[in-house]
């Protein structure tokens, strides 16, 4: 996995091959294929093996502050190597390989989504957000601007931008009195 990440950073994911990884790692390509049936799944496991900060939510009692802190951590992680460029490459591969897409969703996206929805549900139960709010839709609205910036415009995500997204969203999520 270390060889995979090193090569991906050096030559890019598109030029990465199982053969090159095997040569760098001093292993046979058949050994690698026994564990990972595709380059994409090897790459996913390699990226998820990085010892990066866990993107967990605090629960300070202020859902907006907690979302802000967690999203800042995610944006900061994706703004710098190796995570940002490698994660973009992984998402690109997921567009062409259904097994990679399913594994990425199961092992990274869905767990993060579940954490966000759980934090929002707690806020809903505490009266911090509208009780009839569709939390799955909120998650999609939160994710959309982040993935748009990360993948489409490739603009740097700033804390100010996150603040603007959260402020716009929370204007509509607040309980009506």
Domain that holds residue 31: 2-47
d(CA 4, CA 27): 12
6's tokens: 């090193």
Same domain? 73 vs 150: yes
Q: How far is CA 112 from CA 26, 58, 94, 137, in A?
A: 35, 13, 17, 15
For residues 105 and 130, state if they share a domain. yes
For residues 56 and 25, state if they share a domain: no
Model pLDDT, residue 150: 85
The answer to whether 149 and 155 are in contact (CB under 8 A) is yes
Cα separation values, 13 from 47, 49, 94, 152, Å: 12, 17, 12, 18
Pair 24, 92 in one domain = no
Tell me, yes or no, whether 63 and 8 share the same domain. no
Please give the tally of structural domains in the chain.
Answer: 2
pLDDT band of 172, cuts 50, 70, 90? low
- With left for phi above 0 and alpha for psi between -120 and 50, is residue 63 left, alpha or beta? alpha
The tens digit of pLDDT for each residue in 52-82 reads: 656 777 889 999 999 999 999 888 888 888 8
- Residue that has been written with the tokens 């990226």 in this structure: 47
Work out the average pLDDT over 124-137.
91
d(CA 101, CA 79): 22
Neighbour count for residue 167 (Cβ, 10 Å): 11
Same domain, 121 and 152: yes
Query: Does 74 share its domain with 130?
Result: yes
Q: Are residues 41 and 61 in the same domain?
A: no
Mean pLDDT for all residues in the chain: 89
pLDDT in tens, 26-51: 999 999 999 999 999 999 999 988 86
Q: In this model, does residue 99 exceed pLDDT 70?
A: yes
Q: Are 58 and 123 in a shared domain?
A: yes
Same domain, 100 and 71: yes
| 134 & 57 share domain | yes
Q: What is the structure's pLDDT at 77?
A: 86
Whether 21 and 107 map to the same domain: the answer is no
């Amino acid at each position: 996995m270390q060889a995979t990440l090193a090569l991906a950073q050096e030559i890019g994911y598109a030029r990465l091959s199982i053969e090159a990884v095997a040569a760098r790692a001093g292993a046979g390509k058949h050994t690698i294929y026994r564990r990972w049936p595709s380059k994409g799944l090897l790459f996913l496991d390699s990226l998820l093996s990085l010892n990066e900060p866990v993107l967990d939510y605090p629960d300070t009692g202020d859902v907006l502050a907690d979302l802000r802190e967690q999203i800042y951590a995610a944006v900061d992680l994706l703004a710098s190597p190796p995570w940002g460029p490698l994660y973009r490459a992984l998402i690109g591969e997921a567009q062409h390989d259904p097994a990679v897409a399913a594994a990425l969703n199961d092992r990274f996206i869905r767990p993060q989504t579940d954490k966000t929805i759980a934090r929002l549900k707690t806020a809903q139960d505490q009266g911090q957000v509208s009780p009839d709010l569709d939390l799955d839709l909120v998650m999609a609205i939160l994710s959309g601007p982040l993935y748009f910036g990360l993948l489409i415009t490739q603009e740097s995500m700033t804390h100010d931008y996150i603040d603007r997204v959260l402020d716009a969203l929370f204007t509509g999520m607040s309980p009506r009195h």
